[in-house]
Amino acid sequence: MKMKKHKVGITWVFIIIILAAGYFSQRHQRSKTTEQGELGGQQITAPQQIKASSESAPQKTENKKPPQSLDGEGITVIGDSVIVGIEPYLKEKLPKITVDGKVGRQMSQAQKLIDDLKDEGKLGNRIIIELGTNGPFNNKSLRSLLQSLSDKQVFVVTTRVSKGWQDTVNTTIKDVAGEFHHVKIVDWYAASEGKKDIFYEDGVHLKPDGSRYYASLLIEALQKQ
């Protein structure tokens, strides 16, 4: 009788062990399924976040405005026959620019012209001065001119001319312009070095390709400000 009861007890122990094993197996499967579901959600969300970021980035770029408007408004160019030649190429890129070029003009005539433009309300906030082709000028006259434009942004252009005053003009420009924070130099002499093919025979006035090149240098200088 005792053996029979002992066998029954062992049988129940085995039954309990089997039931317990099945229970824990089901819980393990449910836990694994839950983890897989959570991982799947992360994999879907991450690409959506990346896509949203990539779509929003161009909008920020499109909203950025250039620091300077380069339609030519507020820009005045004063020069001699070299400027007369490049005027059409400047206005092609900067339609609202004011260009005052005159054949034979010298630096000594610039102050009166600037005063007249001021009185007429035609002088811009950014001024390009290209003079020196027709003769030299001294430090004092250029310094006085630049002082009268202390509230403007001024660009003074060096010259290339096959005359004895070329180096004097360029030295004066570099010496005096360096005294003023509101004045920048556009070094046409350096930029045109070795480019004989862009000039006419006089070595001063420019062929169409040269005029475009000259205009591009002025525009580049304006864009940097």
Residue in 54, 81, 148, 151 annotated catalytic: 81
Q: What is the pLDDT of residues 85-128, one digit of tens each?
A: 999 999 999 999 999 999 999 999 999 999 999 999 999 999 99
Q: Is the pLDDT of residue 35 over 50?
A: no
* 81, 115, 124, 151 from 121: Cα distances, Å: 24, 10, 8, 15
Average pLDDT over residues 37-48: 35
205 part of the active site: yes
Sheet of strand 75-79: strand arrangement? 98-101, 75-79, 126-130, 153-157, 183-186
Residue in 141, 148, 205, 216 annotated catalytic: 205
pLDDT range class, residue 72, cuts 50, 70, 90: very high
81 part of the active site: yes
Residue in 175, 202, 209, 216 annotated catalytic: 202
Nearest of 149, 128, 124 to residue 73 by alpha carbon:
124
Measured between alpha carbons, how far is 94 from 71 in angstroms, rounded to an integer?
Answer: 5
> Which runs of E-coded beta strand occur in 17-104?
75-79, 98-101
Average pLDDT over residues 5-12: 52
Decide: 153 and 190 in contact? Cβ < 8 Å: no
Q: Is the pLDDT of residue 192 over 80?
A: yes
At residue 200, the pLDDT reads 97
Average pLDDT over residues 129-157: 98
Q: Alpha carbon 218 to chain centroid distance?
A: 15
Decide: 196 and 207 in contact? Cβ < 8 Å: no
Q: Is the pLDDT of residue 207 over 60?
A: yes
187 part of the active site: no
